[in-house]
A and B are shown apart, each in its own frame.
Chain A
């Protein structure tokens, strides 16, 4: 197979997404984020990354780091809850529980997880008027104590909730219109997520009966979809949006033919436009891949003033890792996903020589490609079907 002219495999954190090829650094992406963020490190622990430093985020499988890291690129989000690791603080209103602070090692690796034990009544810690139609995605890390059941709820007049089983890592019950997710973070810890049905009301974390206990750490309530953990103390906290832009130059790319390849997963199937690709630095000449306002669609577009090729594939789940390649050449366009040619277009032109000069995680202004990305390559020849199959096979 031909050698790519640009290759990026996430291996280093810093002020850039560092490319392997070209070796002179021209292929590096400029990375920006004002302020800090958290990631899962190589030991599977949640740690804070400093102001302006990119994140290598390691995948967890059954609670253990398994596989290579990805570059995590997220939008701005706010954790509207305060005291996210201090459930004994007066910020949290005690609704029939006992809180023992700092009882076990949390997913951060520190001794700062609290033990909640039900006594009577509501069996939880609560915040009034906290759920809203905007802030409806709640998450909290929980570990089995004397019980395996952990509950995230809206305990206002019509009690609604998601109940999680911390023994087998499953969602046990979901109220009508509510959705629950559970992720294994290892050492008995699970990140439990409940998405409400656009309701207002009293936010609650807890157990279901007296004498039942669970360990808790890292509560978060945010808009849209669940993102990386944002710790809070005395105030709600906003993590700023991240960008990765302006990799390489016209000498790196062939505007007449080639292949754009990315191994990536979406953060959510939230129906927003997310675009990654090659361009001339404007929206006038573009080869892009991304996600659209249609559920689980992967799209590839070649545009040079008008659409030359628009190819789509309906994925089973865009939040799962996919290997995506777009082949471009006059009258020869193809979209490959996970080892299979999913769509082709045999009519269309490309660009003048030296038109394409930039590779970006944002094509078209507001369509940031928020994602977990594990591999990026650009080839300056249109690869064969056999080569594309090999390249994109999981």
Chain B
């Protein structure tokens, strides 16, 4: 069946089987491979995207359920010529190693900071507890997110 929605600000229309997840639709039909699939059962968070501003697990959403929605992926949270403050903070704090969980972390952190630029370390940890990382041990990721709060408080970066 056909589904029309918006991805990273652009309208898209695809013909999909109902069983195609939003994650697979983004990755294989729209070739936006920044969103990753790590478990397909809603635990690892690597597939996190924003749907109408809210962070969701795209492996648990059917592509057909994205009808009329605004979807934002890590590609839509990136700039052509430079890193965003959040991305620069991740790099500065060495908040990634293999990079596989990173798009999910960035997307989730962006959603959190957009709504709660004053969040504290406990809140950051609580929110990121739904995103698994095996490389970093999370400490540097939490530091990176906290360090990015300033940019969001200045309202430059809010979703």
Verify that A and B bind, or say they do not.
Answer: no
A residues apposed to B, CB below 8 Å: none
B residues apposed to A, CB below 8 Å: none
